[in-house]
Structure 1
Amino acid sequence: MGALDSHAGRVAGGQTVEFRPSGSSMVPLIRSRQLVTVAPVDPAKLEAGDIVLVRVAGTTYLHLVSAVDAPAGRVQISNNRGRVNGWTNYARVYGICTAVDGVPRPRTEHKRLRLPASPATPRSPDE
């Protein structure tokens, strides 16, 4: 299990997390080791251009939503360099990136998932 899988498990359990992903696939939106904030998300509210913590074909990514197929309950995930990772269903979308280095991302606040006050059963990142 990688670091992103651990973060995905925490977000799926209802936590907002901060971490510093590495890599260059999301430049200039996210540069390697910038601090990102990821919160639970309502996948039905996602739009192309949102940055999500998601599992596609067995790998967890912090990547862009490049297309939405709402009737099928799925999103297409891509990096910021044109590489399409594939489609995944809403159950595998764990969170939305709400800030990068403390700067809020646009159009994210109304997409956050508001969980009940009682403890919920966390989703597994492998769902």
Structure 2
Amino acid sequence: MRGRIEDGQPVTLGPVDPTVVEAGDVVLVRWKGNFLLHLVKQATRDRLLIGNNLGRVNGWVQREAVVGRVVQVHPLRG
């Protein structure tokens, strides 16, 4: 998710109750057989609109698809 988190940049994930995820959170979600780390753009009672920090939108996922939430972004090592 370029801009906020660069490719290959380590993060720490924490558990999260999917019902408390809100717009602005960065979450790991199950998406089309894979796992994606994405920004929550909008949140409704049942679904989350995920995308990146550069304006791209992937689409809506059910809240149950949330695996964890980013709790810390670590610096890239050069």
State the alpha-carbon separation in 1 of the partners of residues 71 and 19 from structure 2. Answer: 16
Q: What is the percentage of aligned positions where both structures have the same residue?
A: 47
Structure 1 position 87, deviation (Å): 0.7
Structure 1 position 28, deviation (Å): 2.1
Q: Deviations over 1:54-103 (max 9, x none)?
A: 02333321000010011xx111110112111111111111100000017x
Kindly indicate whether the alpha-carbon contact (under 8 Å) linking 2:2 and 2:52 is maintained by their aligned counterparts in 1.
Answer: no
Of 54, 78, 95, the match for 2:51: 78
Higher relative contact order (CA 8 A, sep 6+): 2
User: Can you give the 5+ residue segments of structure 2 that lack an aligned partner in the other structure?
Assistant: none
Count of matched residue positions in the alignment of Structure 1 and Structure 2:
75
Letter in structure 2 aligned against 1:62:
L
**Scaled by the length of structure 1, what TM-score is found?**
0.54
Q: Deviations over 1:17-75 (max 9, x none)?
A: xxxxxxxxx222111222100111111111111000002333321000010011xx111
State the alpha-carbon separation in 2 of the partners of residues 57 and 76 from structure 1. Answer: 14
Write 1 or 2 for the structure with the bigger share of strand: 2
Letter in structure 1 aligned against 2:14:
A
Kindly indicate whether the alpha-carbon contact (under 8 Å) linking 1:75 and 1:87 is maintained by their aligned counterparts in 2.
Answer: yes
**Scaled by the length of structure 2, what TM-score is found?**
0.85
Runs of 4+ in 1 over 3 A off after TM superposition: none
Write 1 or 2 for the structure with the bigger share of helix: 1
